Structure 1
Amino acid sequence: MLEKDVQIISVDDHVIEHPNVWQDRLPAKFKEAGPNLVRDAVNGDHWVFEGEKAGNFALNAVAGRAKEDIAMDPRSYDDMRDGCHDIHERIKDMDIEGVHAQLNFPNMPGFAGTTLAMAKDKELGLACVQAYNDWILDEWCAPYPERQIPLMIMPWWDVDLMVKEIHRTADKGAKSFTFVELPHKLGLPSWHTDHWNPMLQASQERDMPISIHFGSGGAPLGVSQEGMSTNFTIGISLFALNSAMATAELLLSPVFHNYPGVKFILSEGGIGWVPYMLERIDYVWDRHRWYNDVNREVKPSSLWKTNMYAPFIYDDAGIFSRHLIGIENIMFESDYPHSDSNWPHTRKMLEESLANVPNDEARLIAEGNARRVYNFPRVS
């Protein structure tokens, strides 16, 4: 069970950037093309980047709404909780739901900073990436260093720039950075090339785990158009597919053999799928390793135990099979303020999930594993 003194850590929450994040930080020459918030009473608030609309809030800011009231809105900052974009109000909302600390993925830039990475003007893109990171470090996390785990975005169109930004932000206290879950789906080199080696080396050197969020590599493969639009329940139900694909790509690649200190965390795919996937990968590896370009000595599932982690929101199947996943490989995610969030009942639901789990295991899942992997020690 979850004891009262456990400080819950969520490794997957989200921030809605306030309207002046970029305008306060970009050089004058980039202010017009950089992210600008347009307040429109008819079409709703929306971001404009390089002259084009760059997404809306939709299901990304619905914390506190009844299930019956969740839809593809809110349309403006006036329609969401202040905790979505104000760090002081966020801390209050965390106290209400019983979450002690959290790691936040971005909104306007995309979960892996994809919108900014796709900038036509790469000098502008880099300035926007750095402005976001400085905002997270200096304004969002700095007032509450015990409550916020700084997550960075990266200029992943240029690996050398990535390495510089990893070191720059690590020097300022960054704990992790986000990246696309399936780079090849975006036309980028896969994990089976040496393209990403400098980034992986920097991640290992600075002990900065790589946090990957579902959807950062596109929709689940083969989902119908309706499944990602008019019947979004299909797409949401299949989040685990991308996590499973990312797991297979990584475990059967050279990544962890070449960089044994690199760690990946797969957010919002749940954990119930993990035992079957590991079993299947091991079976296939054992039978087919002799004629494929894979490491023939190390069982892939052993790399999961040392290098990969997955959080859950509410996953009875995963909790039931937790020993097959690895107690030290499971974390918790709240998903505030997204539509999967159970705010303000987060702690209550986690207590229910872990009711039949031994205290020491529950403590690791809810707090200890996140502190260890993200180098985020307990202070009080």
Structure 2
Amino acid sequence: MVAVHEPRAWPKHREPDQPESPWPAGTTVVSADSHFLEPLDWTDYLPPKYRDRGPRGYWDETGFHMVADGFSLDNPGFPSEMIEGRAGMWDVELRIRDMDAEGISKDVLFPQRTMGVIRNDDHEFIAACFRAYNEIVMDYVEPHRDRLFPIGLLPFWDEASVREGGAQLKELGFKAMMMPTLPPGVFYNSRKLDGFWTAVEEVGLPLSFHVGETFDARGLGGLATTIVVAFGGFRRLWSLLTFSGILERHPSLRVVFTEGGIAWVPSALFEADKVYKAFESEMNPRLAHPPSYYWFNNCYATFMDDVPGLRQVDLMGADRIMWTYDYPHPESTLGYTQESIQACFNAAETIEDGQRIVGRNAIDLWGLDD
């Protein structure tokens, strides 16, 4: 018999999931990934020469849209009202109200549309958009700087841009930063970028990568196919950062793979170690440790609800994974957050491990109590 599953309501129609009972004493619930919908007007944040080209948002009967320099930053095939329709995405007080209702103390915020500007080939323009976004999102969280922690956008094409962008992030008070997963024309494993990675490490902030910079979900089955593939997309990037020696050469670099779940991690670690043993004579560069070592030294991953992943916590480390409610996307735990958090405690060997997964790891990684 085929099981029939009750579809979840769109996020804008969900009711927050009120905690029925407190979690174990000492538990602080932190979401390691949610989203902020950029404003309609960026004029005041952009240099005069980019104000006509810069990002601009608008609403119509089909939902929210954004354009930049003549390019649409929409994701074809994704209904905007479904993924961007809850007002807390842009109204900070409504966001805090939803967090309070679901028992979430702190949240880490990622952009919704801005990373789409990487499709432009004008690096100076991209840098201006990133700087503007960083100021915009810091203004958004200003009333709740003790609870909302935005991810800053870091330029990704050369050492000089990283150093300039990193200086802005530290000046504005960011605790976290991100770069695109698959930037056009940039090869993260090129030896020409050795200085670039040194600069990234020296910024001193954990570096996040996030699924879904660009989506095209048109055609039959396109929406679901695109999402399923995106959620499995970090096996390649982790392998590249590991086998290229980037993580070995930069041992203090902390990397967070965001919204791709955690089920991919154990199989990737196993296969990477197996491949390294089988092809060690051909490895370039030769690593000082098995590939899995660099996961436990440098890396983290986030998830919302991940049944197969939570069954394998011992293979990736309870100190390496972080729960998130991904507010307010359709796959968000909004409306069933308590069930999702309970699954983390059920999977953990100890209460302390459960507390790490649902909050303590994020607090320690990003210094959210500082």
Using the alignment, how far apart are the partners of 1:171 and 1:39 within structure 2? 33
| Aligned CA-pair RMSD | 2.6
Instruction: Name 1:11's counterpart in structure 2.
Output: 32
8 Å contact from structure 1 (residues 265, 310) kept in 2 = yes
Q: How many angstroms does 1:301 deviate by? A: 0.5
1:188 matched to 2:164? The reply is: no
Q: How many angstroms does 1:29 deviate by? A: 3.3
Using the alignment, how far apart are the partners of 1:46 and 1:107 within structure 2? 11
Using the alignment, how far apart are the partners of 2:347 and 2:71 within structure 1? 51
The 3-state SS of whatever aligns with 1:74 is helix
Instruction: Name 1:243's counterpart in structure 2.
Output: 234
Using the alignment, how far apart are the partners of 1:211 and 1:179 within structure 2? 7
Q: How many angstroms does 1:334 deviate by? A: 1.1
Unaligned runs of 5+ in 1: 60-71
Q: How many angstroms does 1:217 deviate by? A: 7.4
1:304 matched to 2:295? The reply is: yes
The 3-state SS of whatever aligns with 2:177 is strand
8 Å contact from structure 2 (residues 256, 301) kept in 1 = yes
Unaligned runs of 5+ in 2: 1-21
Using the alignment, how far apart are the partners of 2:24 and 2:185 within structure 1? 46
Using the alignment, how far apart are the partners of 2:215 and 2:194 within structure 1? 23
Match of 1:53 among 67, 72, 80: 72
Instruction: Name 2:337's counterpart in structure 1.
Output: 346
Q: How many angstroms does 1:218 deviate by? A: 6.9
1:155 matched to 2:152? The reply is: no
Q: How many angstroms does 1:240 deviate by? A: 4.1
Q: How many residues align?
A: 348
The 3-state SS of whatever aligns with 1:126 is helix
Mark the CA change 1:353 to 1:5 in structure 2 (over 3 Å): closer, same or farther. same
Letter of the 2:146 counterpart: E
Identical positions, percent: 26
1:279 matched to 2:270? The reply is: yes
Using the alignment, how far apart are the partners of 1:167 and 1:161 within structure 2? 10
Instruction: Name 2:358's counterpart in structure 1.
Output: 366
8 Å contact from structure 2 (residues 66, 113) kept in 1 = yes
Using the alignment, how far apart are the partners of 2:87 and 2:227 within structure 1? 26
Q: How many angstroms does 1:57 deviate by? A: 9.9
Aligned positions of 1:68-107 closer than 5 A? 72-74=79-81, 80-107=85-112
Letter of the 1:136 counterpart: V
Mark the CA change 1:297 to 1:146 in structure 2 (over 3 Å): closer, same or farther. same
8 Å contact from structure 1 (residues 270, 310) kept in 2 = yes
Mark the CA change 1:140 to 1:195 in structure 2 (over 3 Å): closer, same or farther. farther
8 Å contact from structure 1 (residues 57, 75) kept in 2 = no
Instruction: Name 1:32's counterpart in structure 2.
Output: 52
Letter of the 1:189 counterpart: F
Q: Which has the larger displacement, 303-312 or 92-101?
A: 92-101
Letter of the 2:181 counterpart: E
Q: TM-score, normalised by structure 1?
A: 0.83
Q: How many angstroms does 1:54 deviate by? A: 2.3
Using the alignment, how far apart are the partners of 1:85 and 1:120 within structure 2? 29
Using the alignment, how far apart are the partners of 1:23 and 1:336 within structure 2? 27
* Structure 1 runs (4+) greater than 6 angstroms displaced: none
Letter of the 1:283 counterpart: K
Using the alignment, how far apart are the partners of 2:286 and 2:64 within structure 1? 51
Q: How many angstroms does 1:207 deviate by? A: 2.0
The 3-state SS of whatever aligns with 2:286 is coil
Mark the CA change 1:29 to 1:208 in structure 2 (over 3 Å): closer, same or farther. same
Residue by residue, what CA displacement relative to the aligned partner does 1:306-340 show, whole Å, maximum 9, x if unpaired? 10111111112222210111111111121111111
Using the alignment, how far apart are the partners of 2:242 and 2:304 within structure 1? 24
Q: TM-score, normalised by structure 2?
A: 0.85
Using the alignment, how far apart are the partners of 1:8 and 1:172 within structure 2? 25
Using the alignment, how far apart are the partners of 1:164 and 1:323 within structure 2? 40
Using the alignment, how far apart are the partners of 2:262 and 2:89 within structure 1? 26
Mark the CA change 1:320 to 1:168 in structure 2 (over 3 Å): closer, same or farther. same
The 3-state SS of whatever aligns with 1:105 is strand
Q: How many angstroms does 1:165 deviate by? A: 0.7
Q: How many angstroms does 1:162 deviate by? A: 2.1
Letter of the 2:363 counterpart: R
Aligned positions of 1:193-204 closer than 5 A? 193-204=190-201
Residue by residue, what CA displacement relative to the aligned partner does 1:3-57 show, whole Å, maximum 9, x if unpaired? 254221111111111223x12322333222211223434x544222113332169
Mark the CA change 1:290 to 1:165 in structure 2 (over 3 Å): closer, same or farther. same
8 Å contact from structure 1 (residues 179, 216) kept in 2 = no
8 Å contact from structure 1 (residues 17, 107) kept in 2 = yes
Using the alignment, how far apart are the partners of 2:306 and 2:75 within structure 1? 29
Mark the CA change 1:308 to 1:146 in structure 2 (over 3 Å): closer, same or farther. same
Q: How many angstroms does 1:281 deviate by? A: 0.5
